Structure 1
Amino acid sequence: MIHEVDEVLHALLTEEVLAGTDVQLAFDAPTKEWEARRNAPTVNLFLYDIREQMARRREGRIEEYDPAGLVVAEHRPPRYFTLSYLVTAWTARPQDEHRLLSVLLAGLVTYDVLPAERLVGSLAGLGLTVPLSVAVPPARDRGLADIWSALGGSLKPSLDLVVTAPIAASTVFAVQPVTDGLRLRTGRRPVAGTGAGGGRDDRGGEPETRRLRYPDPAAGETAGPVGIRRARGTAADRQRRPGTGGPIRDDRR
């Protein structure tokens, strides 16, 4: 998931925010050694912190339905993680760095989420939004001055870019559907007789076998499988396409 966020940010910045410029993009740690090797105007996105967003953790299971409304799999809810990037501009003059930071800030504040059409891999497959924030004050235990001290460099103007990305949890597949229904077999019911012998009088026809509720697939009868849950109530409503009443598949993973 982390490399997929990197890929989306790289495409977003190079193809939109910084389009038409000769500015390079890097994800390296901005140490003194890296700065010495730099030979062109560069925007650096250094991933300095990864944390789970505990407020969004959910318990239970999420059911996945097929087009007929049957439960085919169960998923644990996705987990959300915040990826924090230290965004800096590197040029020959501080004024140019400030101008470049201004371009980055103006371009990034227009996005509350990463554009859905740019999501790749598992991020695209989940079908969930990926929130994005920029220049929001970091938590008290994440002072940017401490980051620069750890990198061994001097304090430099920067933007704090935070992406909250989901990770798909494991899938638990539903049990195989039961296709055999309940059978009820009845015999002739004895009835107390009133004849001279005082015995019992068997009345009725031949014994009868009746299949309750579900047809027999072996006999060419068709019906939905037995023993597997169907979407009902609001869950069923979510599986129906508005205006048609037909079920649709939930392809989110």
Structure 2
Amino acid sequence: MIPSHSSDPASVRFKGRVAVVTGAGGGIGRAAAFLLARQGAIVAVNDVNPVMAAAVVSEIEAAGGRALALAGDAADEAFAAEAVAEVMLAYGRIDVLVNNVGISVVAPAEDFVAWDRVVRTNLYSQFYWSKAVAKAAMIPVGRGAIVNVASIAGLAAVPNQIGYVVSKHGVIGLTRSLAVEWGRHGIRVNCVCPGITATDLTTGASGMAPDRLKARIARVPLGRMSEADEQAEAIAYLASEEASYVSGLIMNADGGQLALHSGVMT
């Protein structure tokens, strides 16, 4: 359970703001939705699983926040446009967009068959939501903050994850392109590149094998995985007015991993 807004001195950081978070049913997206709500935002929670989206909304509301569930496939362009229209109808504004949804399919490149699904989910979705939000809510008022979630796999290759690597590299390019194009509209576009983070993708039932996880953590200079809440803090900073002159930034939140070497070797 997240703490009540009234007891949190940071609860005014996003007061009066409306935020949309894709892929917010779990992991980093869920943590970001909770943090933005705790800091005063009304949060529209997207997830392909309606039960998970509703659960996050219920937890936010139970803690005194306001939220709206947007159940649907973030990689569906028509759904993205409809969801943005729903938020605008309900609240009349969208100040923050967090493009978080993402999937990974592990297979050697020569056997990889999930290209379209991975690239559409990880990359196309971010463009669809950015475009819809910018046109409906941000360009008309001349302001807004978009935070894309990539990965250190957007900056260095990871074996056996070609779809993930290519799509996350694309997110880096998307971030820079939109920051350049939409700066004239007062829209800031930035990107967080998480390193290994404790979510279902790493520590869950279908996550990494224990030996591989231990080896990955051993290559992090800080000596541990990050928590989803730590990634959420980076996202919230970039979305906030504290970063009012920050745009086009590709922020590593990886415990120093890429400073140590060029990438994940196994």
Task: Provide TM-score, normalisation by structure 1.
Answer: 0.24
Larger Rg: 1
> Which structure's relative contact order is higher, taking Cα pairs within 8 Å and 6+ residues apart?
1
